[in-house]
Structure 1
Amino acid sequence: MSHRPPFPGRRSVLRGSLAASAALAVPAAAGAAPAFALSGRPEAGWGVQAGDVTTDSGLVWVRSDRPARMIVETSATESFRNARRWHGPLLGPGTDFTGTTRLRGLPPGEQIHYRVLLADPDDPRRTGEPVPGTFRTAPVRRRDGVRFLWSGDLAGQGWGINPDRGGYRIYDAMAALDPDFFLCSGDNIYADGPISATAALPDGSTWRNVTTEEKSKVAETLAEFRGNFRYNLLDDNLRRFNAQVPSIVQWDDHEVRNNWYPGEVIAATDTRYTEKSVDVLAARANRAFGEYFPVSTLRPGAREGRVHRVVRHGPLLDVFVLDMRTYRNANTPGTQTTDTQGILGEEQLRWLKRELSRSRAVWKVIAADMPLGLVVPDTTEGQKNIEAVAQGDPGAPLGRELQIAELLRYIKHRRITGTVWLTADVHHTSAQHYLPERAAFTDFEPFWEFVSGPLNAGAFPASALDGTFGPERVFVKAPTASNVSPAGGYQFFGEVDIDGGSGDLTVRLREQDGTVLFTKVLRPGRVGQ
């Protein structure tokens, strides 16, 4: 493997970042969220994040405890000698005191050390304690290789930050692999999943959660959605990880509500919600999502203002981030024989085709927030509909399968090579190989789909396979019971390692402690793998 070794200065950066954040916290009663004490200067108790990093740019995020001017300093070393200064936005209540600063003109393939200072708007000389972070820019030389991780589903089914277990420990296992970035495949929060102080476990013991007011009910107001994103940042492990590893983030249903689709109206029988318009909830959730993650297309003033995008990571890799929520049609049994809107919408499908055709990267990772060949039912409020793509009929494409068939046909006939599908959503880990010789629809080239997650949520049995595109489940690890807590295991993340010399792409499916469960090596240009 030609990937460079872990950068030696990262661990000390993490220690400094954690110390800066921890210094702001006031000890709280067991189970309660830590409070943040207001000092005489602006402080950043929620840590820092970097995102959507390319060969020469990246976004840096922070949240202040009061109005402040965001300032970012970057350097090639931890000493910050000859630092470059970037003046960011004024942070205020309009963005819940969050903000991002785009760094441009960075050297490719290099470790970038940064620190965020928050300055008093009325007296720029008064700044809070700087909060450090680091990331690597994407390489321009193929031989440098790329390593990244992916997973999804955080704080779901009532399983939140458990101080008895040390919080979200999976992030420390991921950080130990020193990835170039982390792809979060959706369900970053569970806006529809309140967090209680305790929950009973099957062995008679008790699971304890850190709790907050915003997580005590389903999210409806903008303040409640913002509070859901803040909740996860109370975890030390996640803040350390964010300071070390940049992210590429997409969303799925639980950022809003389970199995949501545009135009949906919540039934009167669901008394948890006073706001019944899912479109209203989705708009508030989208705003909070853009405030709490460094996403290039959702920055204030960004022209595109959308979740789907391409993040190019040098000559070896392009990541195509899909949005399988915003443009989908209503969930139905999925038996219609024509379906132009599908799960992506017509405009996003045209965008994806165009960008795949333009890509010159060796590997084209399609980051899907939902799986293709796994049947995901939607039984919300007693319905018998389909939530994802596959609808359980192994015959010719129907419903949303028609749109995916069109995309797979396009990839084949345009001779687009190196496509790999990554997803989460189903709360287990698996590897599926799709082959036309096994399929009802045959006009496509073989490809792989890899599933990982959850990060910290309930685990569920393996989903049924739909034979329309000929999937074979080569590996799966899943519980036999539903909603197994993180204390019962079955928490997963995946790793992708692209060798700079051979171009081989190695996928490893890992457990929460980093143990490798399954490995698959894919070679560039090979059909069928």
Structure 2
Amino acid sequence: MKTLRPFLLALLAFTALPTSAQLPFKIEDLYDPALAPFYHGVASGDPLPDGIILWTRVTPPGKSGFTMQRKVPVKWTMATDPALTQVVASGNTFATADTDYTVKVDVRGLTAGRTYYYGFESMGRASITGKTKTAPNVAVDQLKFAVISCANYEWGYFSGYDQIAKRTDLDAVINTGDSIYEYADNDTYSSPEIRDERVLFPRNETVTLKHYRKRYANYRLDPNLRHAHQQHPFITIWDDHEFANNAWRGGAENHNPRKEGSWKRRKAAAMQAYFEWMPIRESGTSIVRSLSYGPLMDLVLLDTRIEGRDIQIEDVNNPLLYAPDRTILGASQKEWLKTELSDSTATWKVLGNQVVFSEFNIGFTASLDPLVTGDFLENQFLDIWDGYPAERAELVDFLSTETIDNVVILTGDIHCSFAFEVANPAFGNPNYDPSTGAGAVAVEIVTPSLSAANFDEEIGEFFTGSVESIINSPFPGDGVNHNPHMKFADLDRHGYVVLSISPQQMQADYYYLASVLVPVTTESWGAGFTTAAGSHLLVPATSPAPPKAVQDVPAP
């Protein structure tokens, strides 16, 4: 997401950021020789009750005097102990140039709700050992997930990944998108404080398959990201920056066909690299899927970005914005979603969704600055579901008429923290009572950016603080709360959410990093919100959700 760039230009006389010297190293200089040839570590993902995806990348000796091998033998092992002596499955495969030497194994026949350890061997060397976990298929007392989004390599260190890696009771990490950014090295979306330390490869914007592959390789050399993947299975969906900013099915704001060629070709390259480098179970070119965590939770994963999205309309006064056939999902995905929700017998239905679903009112804050208008501000936020209001209303009505309870929407993209009660409309709706949650049909938890620029880093602390103080409280100008359904807002801190699910309630805990300008940092609990099963009322928590009774032994 980059919706605030026009806002920034309107508020500030933007001066070019200083250009760093072209540092004289290549991506290979980031390799840790102790990890050869598994420089990018290991990963796992898409847990099933009986299966898990295992991932690694073998980097064969290449252009510096060696012959690049087309096919490299790889052995994998899965065990119930960190030493990998109690082996439950093993096998042999190959890393090939066709998949950029990445390896994926879909291991089946495992025990549900069990912690496992795994590793790879190739070229006479062993990888680091990873830890993973299958999904339960029976009732459990508690599930826990870290929820992350928006990790910009050049804007901040990935210290949040390291904090997540240290947790020992997570079932998985849910990544709602923007796991990489496509911009060129030294772009205005790199932090001037650290850009000389966080040099990006390739130096140019990612457009071709070679570019996207190299960008993923660059990110996955980060030790904090490598550590998180080592310790937890990931469940991932893409957003726009895995392709290009403000992407839709037929193009993107940050794609110039005249200079960068076919969008179809670029989209295909981005998809291929994503499926190669992420521990996701592949099904054609779609990321839409559902995962069962037994009778307690179903996780339904959406694509509101690439699969069916109509082109964005960036004018709230354009009547086409409100057309009933305007779609962010596409017809087939929408019907699939309705079926998944109707057929689910799980207590909780959790949606993994890229962009803010709830109504987001901000135009009223225009009076804080004489350079902007209310329409201008609202226009900056039409890349989210606000830009597809008829389809949102259809889904809200569907949840209401079908009496589908306990729906939790997980969202990233916007680089801020929000907690919403989902009602349509939320503002001025006589049937919605924000004091009781009556009239709402779901709750939405928006995770902050892990390291991408927040409001204050784009438009300044003063304006951000002013907006944050009034965005969900009575506005001094008219005494009205324009976002009564927004129960929490934080516009300027980086971090992640820990989602705790029990039969009785859901709790979302917001954890914030002390700094993203240093490789290692501390974190603190910033806020928590609960909603009881059968209710759509968000209630502030007084402390984080309790840890699980049984903790995992980390991978060594």
Q: Taking structure 1 as the reference length, what is the TM-score of the superposition?
A: 0.77
C-alpha distance in 2, partners of 1:200/1:367?
29
| 1:301-312 pair list within 5 angstroms | 302=283, 304-312=284-292
Equivalent in the alignment of 1:389: 385
Correspondence 1:523 to 2:532 = yes
How many residues align structurally?
451
Equivalent in the alignment of 2:182: 191
Residue 38 of structure 1: how far off its partner (Å):
11
Instruction: Specify which of 444, 448, 470 is matched with residue 449 of structure 1.
Output: 444
Equivalent in the alignment of 1:182: 173
In structure 1, the gaps of 5 or more residues are 1-28, 119-125, 161-166, 392-399, 480-489
C-alpha distance in 2, partners of 1:196/1:209?
14
Instruction: Specify which of 137, 144, 151 is matched with residue 148 of structure 2.
Output: 151
Task: Please list the CA deviations of residues 247-294 of structure 1 after superposition, one character each: whole Å capped at 9, or x if unmatched.
Answer: 0101111111111222237799x69x7324333211110110010011
Residue 177 of structure 1: how far off its partner (Å):
2.7
C-alpha distance in 2, partners of 1:265/1:251?
14
C-alpha distance in 2, partners of 1:69/1:239?
23
Q: CA 1:279–1:45 in 2, change beyond 3 Å: closer, same or farther? A: same
SS in 2 for 1:511: strand
C-alpha distance in 1, partners of 2:36/2:178?
31
Correspondence 1:168 to 2:158 = yes
Correspondence 1:107 to 2:111 = yes
For 1:306, the aligned partner's letter is S
Equivalent in the alignment of 2:91: 87
Residue 343 of structure 1: how far off its partner (Å):
0.5
| 1:490-505 pair list within 5 angstroms | 490-499=493-502, 502-505=503-506
Correspondence 1:286 to 2:299 = no
C-alpha distance in 2, partners of 1:414/1:192?
43
Instruction: Specify which of 132, 136, 140 is matched with residue 139 of structure 1.
Output: 136
Q: CA 1:34–1:497 in 2, change beyond 3 Å: closer, same or farther? A: same
Q: CA 1:510–1:90 in 2, change beyond 3 Å: closer, same or farther? A: same
Correspondence 1:238 to 2:260 = no
Instruction: Specify which of 481, 489, 499 is matched with residue 476 of structure 1.
Output: 489
Which of 309-318 and 191-200 deviates more? 191-200
Mapped contact 1:53–1:59 kept (Cα < 8 A): yes
Equivalent in the alignment of 1:350: 335
Instruction: Specify which of 29, 35, 39 is matched with residue 29 of structure 2.
Output: 35
Instruction: Specify which of 200, 205, 226 is matched with residue 213 of structure 2.
Output: 226
SS in 2 for 1:182: strand
Q: Taking structure 2 as the reference length, what is the TM-score of the superposition?
A: 0.73
Residue 200 of structure 1: how far off its partner (Å):
6.8
| 1:52-131 pair list within 5 angstroms | 52-66=46-60, 67-87=71-91, 89-118=93-122, 127-131=124-128
Residue 518 of structure 1: how far off its partner (Å):
1.4
Task: Please list the CA deviations of residues 285-316 of structure 1 after superposition, one character each: whole Å capped at 9, or x if unmatched.
Answer: 011001001111x2xxx4x4311111212221
Task: Please list the CA deviations of residues 47-96 of structure 1 after superposition, one character each: whole Å capped at 9, or x if unmatched.
Answer: 01000012211100111113323322111112323413433542111111
C-alpha distance in 2, partners of 1:259/1:199?
18
C-alpha distance in 2, partners of 1:267/1:476?
28
| 1:455-470 pair list within 5 angstroms | 455-460=450-455, 461=464
C-alpha distance in 1, partners of 2:271/2:505?
37
Q: CA 1:515–1:82 in 2, change beyond 3 Å: closer, same or farther? A: closer
Q: CA 1:144–1:418 in 2, change beyond 3 Å: closer, same or farther? A: same
Mapped contact 1:46–1:234 kept (Cα < 8 A): yes
Which of 181-190 and 455-464 deviates more? 455-464
Equivalent in the alignment of 1:26: none
| 1:210-359 pair list within 5 angstroms | 210-214=198-202, 216-264=203-251, 274-296=259-281, 298=282, 302=283, 304-326=284-306, 327-332=308-313, 333=315, 335-336=319-320, 337-359=322-344
SS in 2 for 1:274: helix
SS in 1 for 2:386: coil
C-alpha distance in 1, partners of 2:241/2:229?
21
Q: CA 1:259–1:438 in 2, change beyond 3 Å: closer, same or farther? A: closer
Which of 323-332 and 84-93 deviates more? 84-93
Residue 137 of structure 1: how far off its partner (Å):
1.5
Q: Identity rate of aligned residues, in percent?
A: 22
Task: Please list the CA deviations of residues 220-260 of structure 1 after superposition, one character each: whole Å capped at 9, or x if unmatched.
Answer: 11000111111111111111110101101011111111112
Mapped contact 1:429–1:452 kept (Cα < 8 A): yes
For 2:360, the aligned partner's letter is L
C-alpha distance in 1, partners of 2:501/2:191?
43
